[in-house]
Amino acid sequence: MDLATIIGIVGGTLLVLIGCSGGSLSALLGFWDISSIFITVGGSLAAMMINYPLDQFSRAFKSVRWAFFAKIYSKDEIINTLVRYAEKARREGLLALEDELESSADVFLKKGIQLVVDGTDPEVVRNILEIEIGGLEDRHQQNKGFWEAWGAAAPSFGLTGTVIGLIQMLGNLDDPSSIGPAMAVALLTTLYGALMAYLLFCPLAAKLGIRSDEEVMIRQIMVEGILSVQAGENPRIVEEKLKSFLPPAERDRVRRERAEGVSAHV
C-alpha cells in the first residue's frame, strides 16, 4: 500500500476542511451547494463521457488502485534471477531454462524465456518483447491521459458555474435575497473544480505515470537480461549490464543479496 497517496488525499482533504471551517464545524455547511456539485462534477463527468468510450472509463477507474497499491517489483530480485538463468544456461544449455518456467510468476519474463527456449531468433525475441512493452505503455498512457483530461475539465466547469452564478446574480439585483445563493454558486463551483483537479485527478495521473515508468524499466531490464542469457554471455557481465539500470547507491545491494543467496545454497 502506498501511504504517500493515502496521506496526501486524506491529509489534503482534512486541511482544506479545517481551513474552510475556521474552527467551527457549522461553518462547513456554507461550503456545501448542490447546484455547484451538479455543474462541476456532473458537467465534467458528462464531458468525459463524450470524450471517452465507456470501456475506457472502466479501465481508468480500475487503474486507480495502482496509485494506492503498487505492483511489487524488486529490481534486485529480478536481476539476480536473470543472472541465475545465465549461470544455468552456461552450465546446462538454454533448454535447461524450461524448468524455470513453472516457478516464474511473471508472465512477461516467462514469455521471454519460452521464446529463448524455443530457439527464436534474438532479433525476433527483442521485437516481440518491445511490442509488448509498447502496448503496456500505451495502455498506461491512456489511463493517465484520462485523469489528466478530467483534471483539465473540472476547473473549466468550475468557471462555467461561476459565470452562471454571476448571471443569476446580475439578473436579480433587485432581489437582495437571491444575491447570496447566486454568489455561492459563482464561487463554490470554482472551488470544487480546483479541488477536483489539483487535489485528486492531476495527482492521480502523475502517480500513475510514475508507476508506469517503474514497470517499463522492469520490463526493459528483463528484455536485456533475456537476450544476454540467450547470447550466452558471462553471468558476471550480465549482472554488470543489468545493474546499469540502477542508481549507483543500489548496485552494491544487488551484489550483497546475490552473495547471501549463493551462501544460502552452499
205 shares its domain with 239 = yes
Asked if 249 and 135 sit in the same domain, the reply is: yes
The CA distance from 107 to 102, in Å, is 11
Checking if the pLDDT of 218 tops 90, the result is yes
Q: Is the pLDDT of residue 264 over 50?
A: no
Range of the domain at 1: 1-32
Summary mean pLDDT of the chain:
87
Could you give the number of structural domains in the chain?
Answer: 2
C-alpha cell at 127: 521485437
- C-alpha to C-alpha distance for 198 and 182, rounded to whole angstroms: 25
Are both 24 and 127 inside the same structural domain? no
pLDDT digits (tens, 9 = 90+) for 120-131: 999 999 999 999
Tens digit of each residue's pLDDT (9 = 90 or more) over 38-49 = 999 999 999 999
* pLDDT tens column, 236-251: 999 899 988 888 877 7
Question: Are 23 and 80 in the same domain?
Answer: no
Measured distance CA(107)–CA(97) in Å, rounded: 15
* 105 in the same domain as 84: yes
Burial 133-153 (b: 16+ CB within 10 A, else e): beeeeeebeebbbbbbbbbeb
On whether the pTM is more than 0.95, the answer is no
**What would the grid cell of residue 223 be?**
528484455
pLDDT at res. 11 = 93
Is 98 in the same domain as 228?
yes
Q: Are residues 144 and 60 in the same domain?
A: yes
Tell me: do 16 and 114 sit in the same domain: no
pLDDT band at 51 (very low <50, low <70, confident <90, very high): very high
Chain position carrying cell 508472465: 107
Same domain, yes or no, for 210 and 251? Answer: yes
Domain match, 25 and 51 both: no
Residues 22 and 105 in one domain: no
Are residue 27 and residue 42 in the same domain, yes or no?
A: no
Q: How confident is the model at residue 259 (pLDDT cuts 50, 70, 90)?
A: low
Stretch 170-175: mean pLDDT, rounded?
77
Q: Are 160 and 187 in contact (CB under 8 A)?
A: no
